[in-house]
Amino acid sequence: MARYAMVIDTRSCIGCHSCTVACRVHNNLPVDMIYNPVTTVGPTGVYPNLHMAHIPLLCMHCEQTPCVNSCPTGASQRREDGIVWIEESKCVGCKTCVMVCPYGARVSNHEKGTVQKCDFCFDRVDKGSIPRCVQSCHQKARIFGDLDDETSEVFKLVNGEHAVRLLDDLGTEPYVFYIYGLEG
Amino acid sequence: MAQKHETWGWMLAVDFFFAGMGGGMLVIAGLSDLFLGVGMTSVLGNLLGPCFVGLGACLLVLELGRPFQSWRVFMNPKAILTFGAWNMLFAIGSGFIYTSFGIGALPWSNSIPVREFFAVTNVIFGMIVATYPGVLLARHKSRPFWTGTGIMGLFLISSLVTGGAAHMISQYVYGAISSIVSSWGIVDASSSAVLRGLPFFVAGLLALQLILWIGYVWIKHSGSTKRETIAAERWISGNYAMPFKGGFLLLGTFLPLVLVLIPGDLMKGLGALLVILGGLIMRLLVVYSGQDRTWLPGEQKYRSRLPLGHEAFLKAWNSK
């Protein structure tokens, strides 16, 4: 069984927000909903040594899932391949998962009354494709693959580069990894 | 968008308040019965306990995005919210059944073992309902003001003190209307030792609440992480400082601590009302403080730039 993960190389990201737009179009999201915003850190430092980084954020598809554990209806689920998703018909919009997620990755759909989030485009992944945000990234800053496959690029990056996890001290073991440059 | 930070709304805070107060009333009624005998708390107070828990449950349902699917919250036994929902249900049932033993006109009112059984269930389910919001919040590792066991104790104390205050007011109200229901054979609690002692019980808990809250905010401020310090600063000198210090600590804790110890029903009643107001202010502040999440790199700047007040435009746009 695969264990899907994503590596985000912030050295390559230029903050164009193509991934954000592609995700919204693919998931047909309302205007006020974003699954994967891109934040900006900096500029930091003193001229001429200035640094700035763009950090794409999304659901971290954690190994230890506080969202799944806290969902009173069982709508939040985690597949064997690690993808965390929401079965919309079961969601009652209690927002427990929204509050318990350390990454702010879940958003309420006020029209439907449910909570929604990034699901690594599993409809595409199950057909052998890659998530829409990865496909749309012209800088190749997003790398998606099977972390259990030693030949995959994500395996090599996670084990070869200094890939870090966000808020690692909270113990959620996210499966989205970040590679920082000089600013990190 | 309506808000820059996803957070629970006021209805959940008021749910925590009513459920906590009702749970506290069940605990006081149950313990009084078990250790001191029947008729220690007024029947009106015993009745209002489960009613308040039920009112809290109704607000919880209204807070949901899909209220008509609310039955689904009973489905995942591993989730703390499911645990809380079931316990609220049991507490309401136990509270109503226990109350019925105080009405002499009902045929089962003299069955002492059954009454004591429901006094025990009152204590168990009331205690869980009174504490569980604190447990729910304490498990949010990324919400620096909530995380940790301290918040559980604060919720339990607040539930017990508001429950005690509500029992005091119930007795005053029942005293005024008792002649109306005199034919129902309702157990008279007007000379109960518990009701005489409640002002002292409430005063003791208020003193404890005052000390523990000051200690809690101080510990958070000098706490283990920078994010806890930042969250606590909101309560010390930020936008929560005035409602916390003036509304909760002074008006909702210190002033009633003095008032309930002054002889005379008017002062005690006023003090009890302020205790309840303080409990409500505390729940609102704690729930809204949940918007202080542990931020990701650049996230605060990103969220500060999100537009607010465009709901009408967005609704029109989305319906296109």
Task: Inspect the interface and report whether the beta carbons of B142 and A110 lie closer than 8 Å.
Answer: no
3-class SS of residue B236: helix
Tally of CB atoms within 10 A around A74? 17
Mutate to test the interface with A, among B6, B226, B305 (most CBs of A within 10 A): B6
CATH number of the domain that residue B129 is part of: 1.20.1630.10
CB–CB of B69/A92 below 8 Å?
Answer: yes
Distances (CA, A) of B309 to A32, A66, B5, B116, B312: 11, 31, 13, 55, 8
A160 touches chain B (CB under 8 A): no
How far is it, in rounded angstroms, from Cα B120 to Cα B101? Answer: 14
Residues 6 or more apart whose CB falls under 8 angstroms from that of B169 comprise B269, B272, B273, B276
Report the half-sphere exposure of A175 (CA within 13 A, side-chain side).
23
Rounded Cα–Cα distance for residues A5 and A12 (Å)? 18
Size of interface A-B (CB pairs under 8 A): 126
* Distance of residue A151 Cα from the nearest chain B Cα, in angstroms: 31
Q: Which two tokens stand for residue B219?
A: 């510990």
Q: For residue B314, tell me if it sits in a domain.
A: no
Burial tier of B272 (Cβ tally within 10 Å: 0-12, 13-18, 19+): buried
User: Domain for residue B260, yes or no?
Assistant: yes
Residue B248: inside a domain: yes
The answer to whether position B306 is within a domain reads: no
Task: Enter the ipTM.
Answer: 0.86
pLDDT digit string (tens) for chain A, length 184 residues? 799 999 999 999 999 999 999 999 999 988 878 999 999 998 888 999 888 999 999 999 999 999 999 999 999 999 999 999 999 999 999 999 999 999 999 999 888 999 999 999 999 999 999 999 999 999 999 999 999 999 999 999 999 878 999 999 889 999 999 998 755 5
Domains of chain A (ranges; CATH) run 4-63+118-179 (3.30.70.20)
> Which residue is closest to A171 within chain B, CA to CA?
B141
User: Into how many domains does chain B fold?
Assistant: 1
Q: How far is B303 from chain A (nearest CA, A)?
A: 9
* pTM of the complete model: 0.89
- Interchain CB distance below 8 Å, A53 and B143: no
Query: Which residues form the domain of B244?
Result: 10-293
- Cβ <8 Å between B301 and A69: no
Give the residue among B315, B11, B282 at the shortest CA–CA distance from A93: B11
